[in-house]
């Protein structure tokens, strides 16, 4: 993972807060709405960064649900903590998904928004296995990844990785974030999950 994602500059942090996230607000609200949460779920926001999606998730999980932000950078996660401090239904985990002690069969939804293509090779396979194991029976793993050979995972590559993690594709569609196009795919768990 590049330094941008682990050791952002103050300018990068300011840019997200002042410009990038406000430009994406409508899109992010729509992304969370598309999850069709009833407010009671446990959601893991993998690669949560500064808490952009988690802000909308925390609002949506208003009937006892919780969101857990997982990220590799203490700087970004610190920004998420500050941003989400007014919510009492948010938890934070620092580290790689494959190295953090993630509880098995805990989450109803894992959201990976624009993050999988930034996880290096073997670490991606290990992370997907660990994340799959956190899903409850019938849980959903929602992936949004950019389209394009220069930036993103190919559809076949993504499908193979998710299959290896014990997940089965249920839907796929093209979505249009403010900057470019992306594939939104939903996977469901097999139960029991694959062992890793």
CATH number of 3-189: 3.40.50.150
Cα 187 from Cα 86, distance rounded (Å): 31
Res. 175: pLDDT tops 50? yes
| Per-residue pLDDT reduced to its tens digit, 105-119 | 999 999 999 899 888
Domain map (residue ranges) of the chain = 3-189
| Mean pLDDT of all residues in 149-159 | 75
Q: How far is CA 127 from CA 28, 72, 133, 134, 141, in A?
A: 24, 12, 10, 11, 13
Summarize pLDDT for 17-42 with one digit per residue, the tens. Answer: 788 888 889 999 999 999 999 999 99
């Amino acid at each position: 993972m590049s330094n941008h994602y682990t050791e952002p500059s103050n300018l990068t942090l300011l840019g997200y807060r002042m410009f990038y996230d406000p430009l994406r607000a409508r899109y992010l609200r729509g992304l969370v709405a598309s999850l069709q949460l009833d407010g009671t779920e446990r959601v893991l926001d993998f690669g949560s960064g500064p808490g952009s999606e988690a802000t909308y998730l925390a609002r949506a999980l208003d009937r006892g649900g919780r969101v857990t932000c997982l990220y590799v950078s203490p700087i970004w996660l610190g920004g998420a903590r500050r941003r989400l401090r007014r919510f009492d239904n948010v938890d934070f985990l620092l580290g790689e998904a494959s190295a953090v002690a993630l509880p098995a069969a805990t989450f109803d939804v894992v959201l990976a928004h624009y993050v999988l293509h930034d996880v290096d090779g073997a670490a991606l396979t290990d992370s997907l296995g660990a994340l799959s194991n956190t899903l409850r029976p019938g849980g959903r793993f929602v992936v949004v990844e950019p389209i394009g050979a220069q930036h993103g995972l190919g559809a076949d590559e993504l499908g193979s990785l998710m299959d290896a993690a014990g997940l089965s594709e249920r839907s796929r569609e093209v979505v249009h974030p403010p900057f470019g196009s992306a594939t939104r795919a939903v996977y469901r768990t097999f139960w029991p999950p694959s062992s890793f």
